[in-house]
Amino acid sequence: MKLHILGIAGTFMGGVAALARELGHEVEGSDQAVYPPMSTQLEKLGIALSQGYDPAHISADVESVVIGNALSRGNPAVEAVLDEGRAYTSGAEWLRDHVLPGREVIAVAGTHGKTTTTTITTYLLQSAGREPGFLIGGVAEDFGVSARIGSGREFVVEADEYDTAFFDKRSKFVHYRPAVAILNNLEYDHADIFPDLAAIERQFHHLIRTVPHRGRLIVNGEDDNLKRVLAVGCWTPVETFGIGDGFDWSAHLVNADGSIFDVIHAGNKIGTVEWPMLGRHNVMNGLAALAACQAVGVDAASVIPALANFRSVKRRMEVVGEMGDITVYDDFAHHPTAIATTLDGLRAKVGDARIVVAMEPRSNSMRLGAHAEALAPSLAGADVVVFLARPELPWDADKVIAEVRGEAIAVPDAETLLAALAARVQAGDHVVFMSNGGFDGAPRRFVERLRG
């Protein structure tokens, strides 16, 4: 079958493209903005990419159009698909119909940590010899791709609560019918889709309704919002995870930065994790992944040593360069909670060294101002913050800047941002670029500037 994927450069749709290609389908696609790492992955797979949503980019012999959730009515390609009566589907539906049947699906849901937890779970299953399939919302360093069919029974999928498509406003994860579901955490996000937290909780409960009694729910035992969702109704055995005592799966921190922690299951220590990851949030991600693996028959204690070599996902505190005692990171964090936990983990590692943050607040929730009040407090771990406040971003940057603990400024474009960073950076600094978009290639451009 020949497919055209609209929105192909997104992390999810790019993964769908990779899976379709691996299954032998002919794949082409188009997107408004094509940038690494997904564009690099697609080019390696030999998938033809077109820039922009011109209907002419959809070949006449395409048999089905897979439409990403970033596209709406009024988009010229969408209008052409409808007017011409072409067959179309969503990415989540395509995955459900063509990849997931017959697989033991592990779905990883939550406001934060989905990509990392999906990757850890996949990595542990691979370490146990299970050869899992996976679809991750990013390119995993240990696999080199964001998606793979896999020859094993398990398929691990990053289960996003964002809506499915312009014609299906349910969350993507309701399509996956998992045997095991990880519920990492639950906070308000996606202000362009959900009017309030209760609306997101309702979608999470729809997911819970699809998990069979024989399956397992792996739930963050520290999260009151998830407790409220479970209280609505639950028909599946639940295992909780958290830091400290009182959970089915507990972590006791050996190092404050989260790089070493003991794993306690059912009251017994089953091993000690020593890995390159930092932060309390990653400890929670690791616990959830271990619990999920145990739920599908892997002895968690046997795979703990493998985490010493885990390399995570591109753009999750990825070190992109070290020049003159200055370390530069590229990070995907865009929600205030994720920003705060990421900086807390780095602070625990670097001690009194300066942390300089370059931030592009570009998510839909940021654009709508949903996180404006929480943004400044989330940056308390930074000494200097430079915001890329593009003119089209409708939020009050001055108000946020006034409340940031350290030095903070806003600039209108990436080139000015790079110059502002270069004027402020010092030997020994840790410079973190934070954005859920391409950021105009700023992290690597800054490394090149330092080298120059």
* Cα 270 from Cα 257, distance rounded (Å): 21
- The band of 228, judged by pLDDT with boundaries at 50, 70 and 90, is very high
- 373 pLDDT above the threshold of 80: no
**Whole-number Å distance between alpha carbons of 452 and 168:** 50
Read off the pLDDT of each residue in 341-352 and give the average, rounded to a whole number.
86
* Element containing residue 207 per DSSP (H, E): helix 197-210
Q: Rounded to whole angstroms, how far apart are CA atoms 39 and 21?
A: 15
Read off the pLDDT of each residue in 205-231 and give the average, rounded to a whole number: 97
Mean pLDDT over 62-83 rounds to 97
pLDDT at 363 over 90: no
Angle of helix 280-295 versus helix 114-127 axis, rounded to 10: 50
Which stretch, 55-59, 160-164, 374-378, 413-417, has highest mean pLDDT?
A: 55-59
Reply yes or no on whether the pLDDT at 224 is more than 80: yes
Known binding residues for ATP are 110-116
pLDDT of residue 334: 66
**CB environment 286-319: b (16+ within 10 A), e (fewer):** bbbbbbbbbbbebebeebbeebeebebbbbbbbe
Q: What is the pLDDT of residues 164-195, one digit of tens each?
A: 999 999 999 999 999 999 999 998 776 667 77
- CA–CA gap between residue 310 and residue 25 (Å, rounded): 32
Instruction: Give the 3-state secondary structure of 157-181.
Output: EECCCCEEECCEEEEHHHHCCCCEE
Tokens found for residue 33 = 């903005």
Q: Is the pLDDT of residue 402 over 90?
A: no
User: What pLDDT is stored for residue 257 in this prediction?
Assistant: 86
- H/E stretch holding 324 reads none
CA atoms within 13 A on the CB side of 374: 15
Which of the pair, 209 or 142, is modelled with greater confidence? 209
pLDDT above 60: residue 365: no
Binding site members: 110-116
Please report the domains of the chain, with CATH numbers, ordered by start residue. 2-93 (3.40.50.720), 100-309 (3.40.1190.10), 318-451 (3.90.190.20)
% residues pLDDT > 70 (the chain): 94
pLDDT-based confidence at 126, cuts 50/70/90? Answer: very high
Q: What is the mean pLDDT of residues 199-216?
A: 96
Better-scored residue on pLDDT, 76 or 146: 76
Q: Tell me what the mean pLDDT of segment 406-424 comes to.
A: 92
pLDDT at residue 336 in the model = 84
Work out the average pLDDT over 330-342. Answer: 81
Q: Can you state the angle between helices 336-350 and 280-295, rounded to 10 degrees?
A: 110
The answer to whether residues 409 and 384 touch, using CB atoms and an 8 Å cutoff, is no
